[in-house]
Amino acid sequence: MRSTMQDYPLTVGAILRHGSGVHGDAQVVTATGDGSRAQSYAELGRRAARLADALRSLGVTGDDRVGTFQWNNGEHLEAYFAVPSMGAVLHTLNIRLFPDQLTYIANHAADKVVVVDGSLVGLLAQQLPTFETVEHVLVAGPEAASADLDRLRSSGKQVHLYEELLDAADESFAWPDVDELDAAAMCYTSGTTGNPKGVVYSHRSSYLHSMAACMGVAGGLTWTDRVLPIVPMFHANSWGLAYASVMTGASLLMPDRWLQAEPLCRFMRETRPTVSGAVPTVWNEVLSYLDQHEDVDLSSHLRLVLCGGSAVPVSLQKALGERHGISMVQAWGMTETSPVASVARPPAGVEGEDVWHYRGGQGRLLPGVEGRIVGDSGEVLPADGSAVGEMEVRGAWVTAAYYRDDDPERFHDGWLRTGDVGRLDELGYLTLTDRSKDVIKSGGEWISSVELENALMAHPDVQEAAVVGIPDEKWQERPLASVVLREGARVEPAELRDFLAKSVARWQLPDAWAFIDAVPRTSVGKFDKKVIRRWYADGELDVSRAD
Ligand code: ADP
């Protein structure tokens, strides 16, 4: 029997219609460095229609790709809605990718148009001549008019001022009907190994993922919320926060390019976010800032900070909670999973110190995503809290392939192999111990770099720590800890080793130590361990031994 329900397509256009209609009074506020600029969601709807009309008149049809090279701001949000809603495909370009990789993804996706922020024109101009399929460049934002447009024009592409195009466009653009299974947007993994790989989201997957992001267990969003996505809109869709906010009528606060702790905190004081999201490195910096500025109190409005992208140290969560009244919740996911797959809230009835066992892990899967742990020979391991293997997932917003890239290694019987190693317990809680490429293999046993890093970062003098495996004749690999100390702190490796010995088995303790000024970062702000391994191999690290 078929249901009697209507066939209502779950599309990005449906989110826009709802958000700009029912929640027309909600706002998107963009930081300007010395203040902010704002527009209503009703205006977002009107301007998205103008943008779609302008793109159509430039020849964007069918599933043409429109790239964005923008900060988190009002114009980027317009593209987020206009492009998928007109049936085209949004491709968020990571502004921090290595130049060659940027060229690779723009050509691989065959972008026809790129929307660039005025402040990023110089950066784009260097690569633009290598973007083979791009015909038009739209320059957006307050700095568009003063940007060096001739430099862009010298690439042979047609260059337009975004606002001029919008002024000339028709606000009553007729949005087409779009199949919910068609491509809405695409995003490339940041390519820590090899070339980046493209993931293509459907309208349906974007809609369902947005609803999941709104669930109480995740963001718990309502129209009284004010959401600050610090995680870039080019990094796994800013974790779905943009679509989820417009869907619920929560206002959006966009930090634009002001991402350092000081301007971020100023923006937060002025705009009073209730929910925010960013990788741990950002919150580490905010924490240091808050520790030094007692007059800054975010706790009166900020009820939830979603954090993920890499393991979120318990010490960071505790420090923000205990010293600044800010509740941080860890989430896990990847570009391939739209990205949010699990959220680390403790089980019912668990209280006090016991919550950290759960809040320190990657949490429980959201409905719509299933997971299992798989051993070396592809066998499914028990979810008993101790069997360790690779996490595999499948679900409504999990990719089944990469775009024009045959990579069967990453898929297994319809499941995505995440490349993350860990265990699941009887209650469905996931604890990751490493990415498979970062696992340290010592004497036939595995040492978790993540556990060592978390334990080290709990030391009061340690600002950050990254642990990698280095070759060892006897043990195959041994851990090397690269440590960034807090300003003015002085600690010897032996003391850090003793500190670690309180929570980590002796054979797992790092025997090589290096003090560094900063942990190198990837283009999305994660620890770049491959750089540390290279420094070590090239003899660029001042390593001392403590064993
Ligand atoms: P990239 O693969 O280029 O780093 P992604 O942002 O898609 O780009 O990264 C996804 C990966 O980030 C996951 O596979 C996992 O290794 C890591 N990750 C994300 N969230 C967490 C988390 N809460 N704890 C540990 N690792 C995480």
Residue to substitute in 312, 328, 362, 420 for testing ligand 1 pocket (most ligand atoms within 8 angstroms of CB) = 420
Give the span between the Cα atoms of 397 and 178, in whole angstroms.
18
Asked whether the predicted pLDDT for residue 191 surpasses 70, the reply is: no
pLDDT in tens, 414-429: 999 999 999 999 999 9
Is pLDDT above 70 for 405? yes
3: pLDDT strictly greater than 70: yes
Q: Ligand 1, atom 26: nearest CA belongs to which residue?
A: 310
Residue 460 forms part of a structural domain: yes
* Ligand 1 atom closest to residue 335's alpha carbon, by position in its atom list: 7
Mean pLDDT taken over the chain: 95
**The residue type at 524:** V
Domain of 71 in residue numbering reads as: 12-26+40-204
Task: Using the mean position of ligand 1's atoms as its centre, give its distance from the Cα of residue 518 in Å.
Answer: 20
**Strand-pair category, 89-92 with 136-140:** unpaired
Residues forming beta bridges with residue 494, ordered by sequence position: none
Tell me the average pLDDT across 310-331.
Answer: 96
User: Hey, which of 268-277, 471-480, 530-539 has the most confident mean pLDDT?
Assistant: 268-277
In a domain, 150, yes or no: yes
CATH number at residue 476: 3.30.300.30
414/79 Cα distance (integer angstroms): 32
Q: Which helix (H) or strand (E) holds 363?
A: strand 363-365
Q: Whose Cα sits closest to atom 13 in ligand 1?
A: 334
**pLDDT average, residue stretch 516-536:** 91
Task: Report if residue 403 sits inside a domain.
Answer: no
CA 235 to centroid of ligand 1, rounded, Å: 11
Number of domains observed in the structure of the chain: 2
pLDDT score recorded for residue 148:
97
How many Å lie between the centroid of ligand 1 and the Cα of residue 337?
Answer: 10
Q: Which segment of 26-35, 204-213, 523-532 scores lowest on mean pLDDT? A: 523-532
- CATH at 86: 3.40.50.12780
User: pLDDT category, 193, cuts 50, 70, 90?
Assistant: low
Strand arrangement, sheet containing 65-69? 158-161, 136-140, 111-117, 65-69, 89-92, 183-188, 198-202
Which pLDDT tens digit goes with each residue over 435-462?
888 889 888 888 999 989 999 999 999 9
Lining residues, ligand 1, CB within 6 Å: 189-190, 192, 236, 308-312, 330, 332-335, 362, 418-420, 432, 435, 524, 526
Ligand 1 atom at minimum distance from 307 CA = 23
Domain assignment present for 383:
no
CA–CA separation, 451 and 388 (whole Å): 14
157, 318, 441, 530: which one is catalytic? 441
The residue whose C-alpha atom lies closest to atom 19 belonging to ligand 1 is: 309
CA of 411 to the centre of ligand 1 (A): 17
Asked, for residue 395, whether it belongs to a domain, the answer is no
**Choice from 199, 328, 330, 332 to test ligand 1 binding pocket (greatest atom count within 8 A of CB):** 332
Q: Tell me: the pLDDT tens digits for 204-238?
A: 999 999 999 999 999 999 999 999 999 999 999 99
Among the candidates 204, 225, 259, a domain finishes at 204
Instruction: Output the residue whose Cα is nearest ligand 1's atom 3.
Output: 190
- Average pLDDT of the residues in 473-488: 93
- Secondary structure of residue 539 in the 3-state scheme: coil
Q: Is residue 461 part of a domain?
A: yes
The DSSP call for residue 380 is B
Distance of CA 213 to the CA centre of its chain: 13
Among 147, 171, 204, the domain-final residue is 204
Compute the distance between CA of residue 126 and CA of residue 439 in angstroms, rounded to an integer. Answer: 37
Taking the centre of ligand 1 as the mean of its atom positions, its distance from the CA of residue 384, in whole angstroms, is: 23
Instruction: Give the Å distance between the CA of 474 and the centre of ligand 1.
Output: 31
Task: Say if pTM beats, i.e. exceeds, 0.75.
Answer: yes
Q: Residues 336, 392, 451, 464: which is the catalytic one?
A: 336
Q: Residue 443: what pLDDT?
A: 85
User: Catalytic residue at 239?
Assistant: no
Q: DSSP string covering 149-213, please?
A: HHHHHTTT-EEEEHHHHHHHS-TT--PPP--TTSEEEEEE---SSSS--EEEEEHHHHHHHHHHH
- Confirm whether 347 is domain-assigned: no
**Residue 103 annotated in active site:** no
Tell me the DSSP string of 38-80: EEEHHHHHHHHHHHHHHHHHTT--TT-EEEEE--BSHHHHHHH
User: Is the predicted pLDDT of residue 351 greater than 70, yes or no?
Assistant: yes
525 pLDDT band (50/70/90 cuts)? confident
Residue 196 CA, closest ligand 1 atom number = 3
Three-state SS for 214-259 is: HCCCCCCCCCCCEEEECCCCCCHHHHHHHHHHHHHCCEEEECECCC
Say what the pLDDT of residue 65 is. 98
Give the model confidence (pLDDT) of 278-288 as tens digits.
999 999 999 99
The closest alpha carbon to 151, from 134, 135, 133, 137, belongs to: 137
Domain end point (choices 165, 183, 204): 204
For residue 252, being part of any structural domain is answered with: no
Tell me whether residue 441 is one of the annotated catalytic residues.
yes
Confidence of residue 69 (pLDDT cuts 50, 70, 90): very high
Give the confidence band of 334 by pLDDT, cuts at 50, 70, 90: very high
**φ, ψ for residue 217, nearest 5 deg:** -70, -25
- Which is the catalytic residue, given 189, 335, 399, 522? 189
Residues written for the chain: 547
Predicted local distance difference test score (pLDDT) of residue 192: 61
